Amino acid sequence: MKKRNYIDDDEKEEILLESLDSGGASGVSVEAYPNLSTQDYQNVALLVVLYLLQGIPVGLAFGSIPFLLKSKLSYSQIGLFSLATYPYSLKLLWSPIVDAIYSKRVGRRKSWIIPIQLLTGSLFFWLGNHIDVMFNVEKPDVYTLTMLFFILIFFSATQDIAVDGWALTLLSKNSLSYASTAQTIGLNTGYFLSFTVFLAFNSADFSNKYLRKVPSDDGFLSLGSYLTFWSFVYLFVTIWLIFVKGEDATHSSDEMDIKTVYQTIWNICKMPHMRRFILVLLVAKIGFIANEAVTGLKLLEKGFSKEDLALAVLIDFPCQLLVGYYAARWSNGPQPLKPWIRAFYGRLIFAIVGMLVVYIFPANTKISSEMFFLVIASTVLSSFMSTVQFVSISAFMTTIADPVIGGTYMTLLATFSNFGGTWPRFFVLEAVDYFTEATCSFKNSKNIINVIDCVSEQDKSICNDNGGTCIVHKDGYFIVSIATVTIGTLLLFAFIIPQIKELQGLPPKVWKLKK
């Protein structure tokens, strides 16, 4: 008889409650990282692959594309492109549909994962044949690019809903703690490939230095070729899911119509402690959003190369995998959010360090090894703090999530957490341009001196082409960064810490819906 790899609702509730109670007065605990069976190893590997596929478009939209666009667009225009990332923060709006509608023959989660991956792979293939042309113009059409990547991130977010739900039943009872680890490894790997690896191979300097004997003006890997490659990977994984990997039958107790799921979400949000937790998630990332959204772009603007920035992430990547594992262990116990608070201090500190790095960074000159090390160290340590926070908050969410509605409870929590880092980004990028004052003076063909604003990259090009020099009188980056760090620090001590201490001390049963 085939061994089942799912657990029923009561068992899932019990394991999550026990996870939160470990080390507490009850004396009942589950080992945080037990030995895995062969089947669990295979299922964890599958989750890593599925999360990796989600990380590919996420790494492009959040990482590489803004860096590629920076040389041709202003911060405000890049802020417009940042709207493409919103579906990942708004997936709660359609997660009940993903949770409630499916084919019993195909499987509750595969009913969504299979078509979504086929659509994503198809769009990747189309972009692979057209995107290089879209980028190789003086001023790329930011509206079209935003729409296309909005669709890609919408597909990725929808897949995330299904995979999060599948993780709760794909793993055996004692192995649920590996779900957040699989997510961390998979998403980080996908992001790493689409950011670090791609930017390095897309760089002509990197390719000529390490990959070619005969120099060329183009990188070794174009964006179109990269997208085409992943379109075939999506297709291969989807075929494997269709013909090889089965999905256990869904329990009837899990089945709810769409209206019921939306009502359930509303009931969750009405809990007084849940409203406070949601508010914490929505404001928690304000303090370091300017550092994460703008600092890297400012370094590029000052002459730091894309391949050097990619190298920083390359060094950072193995550190984050190791940190993700240990952060999950640190988050196991009666105070799962203690690492989250400590890492919060770290992210605020490195937001300040990021400002100092930008301030002292030499513009358009060869940087010293000491400066290069400082950029690498600040990038790696800032990312270290971010990973600790991500794993810690994910572990807490897993312990309080009521699995009665599959992935929707986790999606609800993840949505507000993601949105807390998404909604300020657009305003921060807009504010950098708004508060920046820069002018350029040059003589035209009639020997008349013209003075123009040179905040955008296009205006800077006009300035340089006419022999002028763009002089920055006031850099909006520092104004916005100081403001966000100040707001974030005040929020931390006046609101976030008191709320977190109270919320993580609540008994697990208060987070569950009344039956």
Q: Are residues 272 and 155 in the same domain?
A: no
pLDDT value at residue 30: 38
Share in percent of the chain as helix, strand, coil (round to 5) = 75, 5, 25
Say whether both 113 and 146 belong to one domain: yes
Q: What is the pLDDT of residues 108-155, one digit of tens each?
A: 889 999 999 999 999 999 999 999 999 988 889 999 999 999 999 999
Q: Which two tokens stand for residue 307?
A: 């391949």
Residues 490, 423: Cα–Cα separation, whole Å = 19
E-strand stretches of 78-223: none
Q: CA 134, CA 223: separation in Å to the nearest integer?
A: 11
In terms of domains, do 344 and 491 share one? yes
Indicate whether 8 belongs to any domain: no
293 contacts 360 by C-beta, under 8 angstroms: no
343-363: average pLDDT: 93
Question: What was the pLDDT predicted at 485?
Answer: 97
pLDDT digits (tens, 9 = 90+) for 424-474: 999 999 999 999 999 888 776 666 677 788 887 777 777 877 778 888 889
- Band of residue 321 on the pLDDT scale cut at 50, 70, 90: low
Which of 180, 215, 246 marks a domain boundary?
A: 246
56 pLDDT above the threshold of 70: yes
- The pLDDT score that the predictor gives to residue 332 is 60
Task: For the chain, give the mean pLDDT.
Answer: 82
Report the CATH number at residue 420. Answer: 1.20.1250
How far from chain centre, in Å, is Cα 65?
A: 14
Confidence (pLDDT) at 12: 37
Q: Does 110 reside within a domain?
A: yes
Predicted confidence (pLDDT) at residue 265 exceeds the cutoff of 90: no
Report if residue 28 sits inside a domain: no
Find all residues with CB under 8 Å of 514, minimum gap 6, and list them: none
User: Who contacts 407 (Cβ-Cβ below 8 Å, separation ≥6)?
Assistant: 95, 98, 99, 161, 162, 163, 164, 165, 166, 167, 168
**Predicted local confidence at residue 442, as pLDDT:** 77
Residue 488 has pLDDT above 50, yes or no: yes
Least Cα distance to 76 among 464, 488, 436 occurs for 436
In a domain, 259, yes or no: no
- 17 is a domain residue: no
CA 128 vs CA 22, 238, 298: distances in Å: 49, 19, 29
Would strands 469-474 and 437-443 be described as parallel, antiparallel, or unpaired? antiparallel
The tally of domains found in the chain comes to: 3
Q: Are residues 468 and 490 located together in one domain of the fold? A: no
Q: How far apart are CA 496 and CA 490, in angstroms?
A: 9
123-132, 284-293, 499-508: the lowest-pLDDT one: 499-508
Per-residue pLDDT tens over the stretch 1-46: 433 333 343 343 333 333 333 333 333 333 444 566 777 788 888 9
- DSSP symbols for 264-289: HHHHHHHSHHHHHHHHHHHHTTGGGH
**Stretch 157-181: mean pLDDT, rounded?**
80
CA–CA separation, 162 vs 166, rounded Å?
A: 6
Q: Classify 107 as helix, strand or coil.
A: strand
354 with 493, same domain: the answer is: yes
- Co-location of 355 and 490 in the same domain: yes
What mean pLDDT is predicted for residues 333-337? 72
Mean pLDDT calculated for residue range 402-416: 72
Half-sphere exposure of 388 (CA within 13 A, CB side): 18
> What pLDDT does residue 143 have?
94
87, 236: one domain:
yes
Quick one: three-class SS letters along 13-80?
Answer: HHHHHHHHHCCCCCCCCCCCCCCCCHHHHHHHHHHHHHHHHHHHHHHHHHHHHHHHHCCCCCHHHHHH
**pLDDT tens per residue across span 231-253:** 999 999 999 999 888 776 554 44
pLDDT band at 307 (very low <50, low <70, confident <90, very high): low
Average pLDDT rounded to a whole number, residues 404-408: 60
Within a domain: residue 29?
no
pLDDT for res 313: 65
**Residue span of the structural domain in which 339 resides:** 267-431+477-514
* Residue linked to tokens 């070729």: 225
Q: State the alpha helices, DSSP H only, in 211-245.
A: 223-243
- Span of 92-106, 210-224, 244-258 with lowest mean pLDDT: 244-258
- Give burial (CB, 10 Å; 0-12/13-18/19+) of 81: buried
User: Does 257 map to a domain?
Assistant: no
494 and 366, same structural domain? yes
Q: Exposed, middle or buried by CB within 10 Å (0-12, 13-18, 19+), for 447?
A: exposed
Same-domain status, 335 and 457: no
Q: Please report, rounded to a whole number, the percentage of residues in the chain having pLDDT higher than 90.
A: 36
Same domain, 326 and 445: no
Q: Is residue 278 in some structural domain?
A: yes
Longest dimension (CA), the chain: 90
CA angle 235, 238, 243 (to 5 degrees): 125
206 and 60 in a single domain? The answer is yes
Same domain, 138 and 54: yes
CATH number at residue 41: 1.20.1250.20
